[in-house]
Amino acid sequence: MPYQNFTGKFGGLIIEKKPSSADIKAKNRQLIYHFIRENTSVSKQDIVFGLQLSLPTVTQNLQYLVEKGLIDNSEKIKNTGGRNATAYTYLPSARAAIGIYMTEHHMNGVAVDLLGNEMERIRRRIQFNLEDDAYLRELGALVMEVKKNAGIEDEDLLGVGIAVPGLVSDDGESVIYGLTLNFTGKTLEEIAKYIPYPCQLCHDSYVAGYAEVWESREIQNAFYLSLSNSVGGSLMIDEELYVGDTHKSGEIGHMIIVPHGGKTCYCGKKGCLDTVCNAGELDRYTDGNLEAFFKLLEQGDHRAHELWSEYLDYLAIAVVNIRILFDSYIILGGYVGAYIDDYMEDLCRRVDERFPFDDKAGDYLLPCKYKVEATAAGAAIRYVDEFLETI
């Protein structure tokens, strides 16, 4: 397989630098590992022909991957004639990561394997309070319980992603905007003091959106709209998260939807999308139980129908604006997104009525795949992705 030369600039000139022997070896190892990952179980000859690499190169790298416990070679591929070839099989559980999502009333933990499959999930009701040492100890205990239940050994744990409802610094070490729960300025060191593993803070909407498009072959550009207790979003361009110049990309919750007489948002401004499309606008009718709200809606409750119709109108306006801005897929997630499948036709109709072009919402507006714990899973998947890129 051909390799691109590395390029760099020096004194205004572009200098081409050939990849070193170490670079080529690392690249070959990645190619072989990902080939097995995509095909699940293959023979050595499958890899040689599939990647156009030499037999010695493939043999050496397979030995390395087996020794690291990343693939298995204990089975045989049955042939109709001749000797059965060794099967090199992908091991999704060879490594794992844990994701935690802290909300106002809950602490959610998820473990995922190298394919992003959920290995364990725990949800606890607990009031958010980073000033309380008991809360921080509970956070550490949750990580340990998820790890134990998932059967993850210390040496196989890639790390713990901690998703928070706020903006996070580039290095994942501090919260730079946390007005939703009043925790601006809190650091990873403070939050993860009882978690004895590599950790990183991450913005909830960013990682939830990342989880939705991770490894998707159909979607390269997408806007993820998170409809939970607060409204947020994330923008993926060419399968990469775009955070903007000041980490405020995707903060769709503060787009003005009601220009006059709107309710006051937690940001201090009036008429934000967050004030009309957060989950509380619906579950306030059912004492904070969103599932109960949608059950009433199914049963034809008049007031539930009124609230939902108004909600969909505001959501349709937001979708139109997002589509005009980014011309991409739009994925509806969060607490409300988990229930929206049955109402997509109605929402698409409302969007199409407002959209000025020929695009049909049914072609670009999608319900989320992750119905539960997308944010926690996304926080973990970031560690998996990093591992897959550096194997």
From first to last of the 391 residues of the chain, give the pLDDT tens digit. Answer: 333 333 333 344 445 567 788 889 999 999 999 999 999 999 999 999 999 999 999 999 999 999 999 999 999 887 655 678 899 999 999 999 999 999 999 999 999 999 999 999 999 999 999 999 999 999 999 999 999 999 999 999 999 999 999 999 989 999 999 998 999 999 999 999 999 999 999 999 999 998 988 877 788 899 999 999 999 999 999 988 898 998 889 999 999 999 998 999 999 999 999 999 999 999 999 999 999 999 999 999 999 999 999 999 999 999 999 999 999 999 999 999 999 999 999 999 999 999 999 999 999 999 998 888 899 999 999 999 999 998 8
Question: For the chain, where are the alpha helices, taking DSSP H only?
Answer: 21-39, 44-51, 55-67, 133-150, 188-191, 204-213, 274-277, 280-283, 290-298, 302-326, 334-337, 344-354, 361-364, 374-390
242 and 345 fall within a common domain: yes
How much is the pLDDT for 16? 55
The tokens for 214 are: 């991770």
Residue 1 in domain: no
Single pTM value for the model: 0.85
CA angle 341, 343, 346 (to 5 degrees): 140
> Looking up tokens 């994942």, which residue turns up?
172
CATH number at residue 141: 3.30.420.40
Domain C-terminal end among 60, 90, 120: 90
Residue 281 one-letter amino acid? E
10 Å CB burial of residue 357 (0-12, 13-18, 19+) is exposed
pLDDT of residue 81: 58
18 and 111 fall within a common domain: no
Residues 347 and 383 reside in one and the same domain: no
Q: How many domains does the chain have?
A: 3
Whether residue 185 is found in the same domain as residue 239: no
Rg (CA), the chain: 24
The parent domain of residue 129 ranges over 95-209+374-390
Give 71's contacts (C-beta < 8 A, 6+ positions apart).
33, 36, 62, 65, 88, 89, 90, 91, 94
Q: What pLDDT was estimated at residue 254?
A: 96
Asked whether residue 360 falls in the same domain as residue 295, the answer is: yes
The verdict on 81 and 169 lying in the same domain is no
Q: How many CB atoms lie within 10 A of CB 171?
A: 9
Entry field: residues in the chain:
391
3 state SS of 292: helix
197 and 222 part of one domain: no
At residue 251, φ and ψ (nearest 5 deg) are -75, 60
- What are 108-121's pLDDT values in tens digits? 999 999 999 999 99
- 179 and 132 housed in the same domain: yes
Give me the residues paired with residue 86 across strands. 76
